[in-house]
Each structure stands twice: as C-alpha cells, then as structure tokens.
Amino acid sequence: MSLSSSLLFSAISVTIFLVLFSYRVDSQPVLDSDEQESAYRVLESVNSEVPWRALFPGDLCSSAPHGVVCEFFEEQNDAVEVHITELSFGFVSDYSPNPPCTADSTINPLLYAFKHLRKIFFYKCFTGAQVSVPDFSVYGSSLEEISFVENPSLTGVLGGKLGNSTSLRRLVLTGTNVSGEIPVGLGDLVNLEQITLSRNKFSGEVALNFSKLKQLKLLDLSENGFEGEVPESIGGLTELLKVDLSENQFSGKIPESLKNLKNLEFLDLGYNHFANFGIPLFLAEMPRLREVHLSGNFLGGQIPEIWKSLRGIQGIGLSGTGLVGNIPASMGFFLRNLSFIGLDNNLLEGTVPEEFGSLESVNEMNLENNKLRGKLPFSPKFAAKMGEKLKLQGNPELCVDEGLRSAKIRGSLGNLKLCRHPYGPSQSLFVGGISVQKASHLLMFLGFLFLLP
C-alpha cells in the first residue's frame, strides 16, 4: 500500500467511525482550530515533504492521517468536545502506516498543546540532529503510553520529565541517546505495566523502590550502563513475566527476592558483574520460567540439580560463568522442551551425558571451550539436524565414534578425533553381565523414578 492510499484508507475508517458515532450525539463536535493548527505544525515538523494541509483540509478529527487519533470527551455541561489523544509518527508497516519521518524531523513545541494526549509514539524519527527528550510532565495524568523506538539522536535525561504521569502504563525508550539515571519518581507511577529502557545511555544505580509497581509485567533495562545492586524490592512485583537486565554493570548478589516472581517466564541477567555463589538454587522455585540467561557473570560452582522443577524450560544460558564439575544427566533427562543451551567457556569436565543425545526439541547446543572428554552421545541424525548449531570446539578430549565420523556432518564434529578404544563404552568393566556404565544409568534412572511425583 502506498503512503497516500494508506492515508486515504485511514481517513475513510475515521469517517465510518464518526458516522456510527453521530447517532449518539446530536451535533458533531469539531476539533478546535488551535488544536488543528498545532496538529498541522507537528505533522510538518516530523515530515516536511507531505502537504498535510492540502491532503487533510477539513476537520482533522473527521479525516485524519493514520497516527492521529481523536476521542470525544463529555464535559460537565453535557457538551461533547473532541480532542487529539494519540500521536504516532514513523512508518512501521502497512498495518501501522504512521506518517513517515523525514531526516530533518524535530519535535515542535506545539506538541505540548495537546492536553488530552494519552499516547505518544515516535519510531525512527530522530536520526540526524540532536533532539531533546520532551517534558512529559506538561500532560499531567493524561498520558498512558510513551514510546520512542530507534531514535538515536534523542538526547537528554529523563529525570523530572515524567512528572505526575500517574496514568502511565507503558514507558518505552529503546535505541536512543537518553542518558543519566532512571528517575526515582518512576516508582510512584503505580499503573505502569511495562518499563522498557533497553539500548540507551542510562547509567548509575537503579535507586527506585519497585514496591508500588504492582501492575508491572515487563521490565527491560538491558544494554545500558547501570551499576550497583539490583534493589530487593524487585521481588515484590508478582505480576512480572519478563525481566531483562542484561548487558549492564550490575554487581553484588543476584537478589534472592526474585524467587517471589512466581509468574516470571523470562529472566536475563547476562553480561553483568554479578558475583554469586553458584547458580541460584531458588530458580527451582520459579515454575513458569521458560528462559534463564546468566551468561557472562561470575557464578562458579557446579551445575545444581534443579531441573526437575524446571521442566518447561526452553532456553538456558550459562556461558562463561566459571562452572566446574560434570554436566548433570538430569538436565538431559528432564528438559524435554529445551531449545537452546549454552554451557560454553566454563571449566566443565567429564562426558556429555547420554541423555543429551535424545533432547529432541533442541536447536542450539554450545559446549565449546570446556574440558569435556570421551565419546559424544549424538546419533548422526541428531548431529545432522543440529548442523552448525552444535558447538563443541575447544574440548580436545572429546571424540566421535565410527558412525558419527562416517556420516561426514558439517559443523564442528568434523574436527573431532575418532574415539580410541580406551575412551569408548566397550572399555567399561563388566559386572554381573551389565557394564558399570549401564548399571550407573540404571541406578540414575531408578533415582529419577523415585523423584517423580
């Protein structure tokens, strides 16, 4: 759909909406002329190439470009007024054909003229000259949604700019040049459901008290310069579904209070400076977890036996976390829905558990740069399905059997040596007809049966 046809399409849909609505109101209110003029000016400052006034000469609320949304307000004296409540700029897709921003897009101060604004959205608008973060406090408590996505020239600090936006439900600033600390006052905006502040230039400690943000479902502070400890108050946000604090400089222990997040499905604390004593055991108390990423922090210790409680897990990232000891067979046994596992760049030793060879849903397995040894448990079919996503380099004592070798599968298997007899299973001692290795598997299997509810 071309821009003009999408604009026309949205104009038609606005008209239909108004025709339906006009059965309810006696005389149809029109947009106040000052508000209309402000809308033209703001449109012109994000896109100076479209002749907005000529394309939309009439009442903007009867026929508006996509991205400009009006609503009716019943006033005390029963009069009905119409105001602009949403302004969205930046072409997203044919389904969301907002006015595209030109390279010289700026924020016109007349943006502050819309006192009833609920939603403000800019996508890929500020990419050239620096544009300052607007002062959202002028909207009082009308704003419900602030989204600035991929605006690398949006610059300044957020402190003091959110004011009393007590109705705010979504705060999305991602891919901008916004810096400074997160305002402590954010903790008072009790209706927040989403805080996404990824890929900006924020820094400093996260000093806010999360306790009051009971509606928060999504917290993403990834790829900034945050430091210090994560406030324990994060554990009070029982509605949280997703927490992403990755790629910052958070330090200290991983807060124990996270275990109270019983609905949490996604936890990414990767690539920070957390120094824990091992992988937190409380993960076992978070039954809904689908993904947990702790890579690039110093955890140390052995991989704990917590996987029976985490059977639904689909992604595990424990790369470069200083892990020692063996890979527990229970991971392969219980994690039947596992799609990604990264255990690379640790000090893991022993063999790759037999159970890893039957992980059917796995798409990517990275075991590179450990001290693993012995025969790989993968069938040629499994290895062929995984291809390059089966990563095993940097474990000089790993080997493949004849079957895997002759299958000539591309990827890292090709560089592994052929198992010589001393490492193969045929080397196992026989005890009363079954090998020690088989016996230990049998014991382990019985152990799991015993553990099952």
Ligand X SMILES: *[C@@H]1O[C@H](CO)[C@@H](O)[C@H](O)[C@H]1NC(C)=O
Contact residues: ligand X, CB under 6 A: 130, 141, 152-153, 155, 164, 166, 177, 179, 209, 211-212, 233, 311-312, 337
Distance CA 359, CA 370 (A): 20
CB of 158 to ligand X, least distance (A): 13
In the bound complex, what is the minimum distance in angstroms from residue 111's beta carbon to ligand X? 19
- How many Cβ atoms are within 10 Å of 447's Cβ, its own excluded? 12
Closest contact distance (angstroms) between CB of 136 and ligand X is: 13
Nearer to ligand X, 233 or 249 (CB): 233
> 29 or 312, CB closer to ligand X?
312
Based on the number of CB atoms within 10 Å of its own CB, is 45 exposed (0-12), middle (13-18) or buried (19 or more)?
buried
* Identity of the residue, 132 or 427, whose beta carbon is nearer to ligand X in the bound complex: 132
305-339: b (≥16 Cβ within 10 Å) or e:
ebbeebeebbbbbbbbbbbeeebbbbbbbbbeebb
- What dihedral angle (degrees, nearest 10) is formed by the CA atoms of 220, 223, 224, 226? 70
Q: Which is nearer to ligand X, 214 or 417 (CB)?
A: 214
Least distance CB 138 / ligand X (angstroms) = 12
The residue nearest ligand X at its CB is 312
Q: Nearer to ligand X by C-beta: 166 or 393?
A: 166
Q: How far is the CB of 297 from ligand X (least distance, A)?
A: 23
- What CA–CA distances, in Å, run from 107 to 43, 56, 112, 130? 10, 21, 10, 10
Three-state SS sequence of 55-121: HCCCCCCCCCCCCEEEEEEECCCCCEEEEEEEEEECCCECCECCCCCCCCCCCCHHHHHCCCCCEEE
Smallest distance, ligand X to C-beta of residue 345, A: 28
Edge-to-edge strand list for the sheet holding 397-400? 324-326, 347-350, 371-375, 397-400, 417-418
3-state helix, strand and coil shares in percent for the chain, rounded to the nearest 5: 30, 25, 45
Residue 53 or 311: the one with the smaller Cβ distance to ligand X is 311
CB of 240 to ligand X, least distance (A): 16
CB of 207 vs ligand X, minimal distance in Å: 9
For ligand X, the closer CB: 290 or 405: 290
Q: Could you tell me the sign of the dihedral formed by the alpha carbons of 275, 271, 126, 98, in that order?
A: negative
Q: Nearer to ligand X by C-beta: 253 or 311?
A: 311
Q: Shortest gap between Cβ of 249 and ligand X (angstroms)? A: 18
Q: Exposure pattern of 360-386 as b/e (b: 16+ CB <10 Å)? A: eebbbbbbbbbebebbbbbebebbbeb
Distance CA 59, CA 40 (A): 11
Per DSSP, 167 falls in state T
Residue closer to ligand X by CB (options 153, 437) is 153
CA–CA gap between residue 143 and residue 440 (Å, rounded): 63
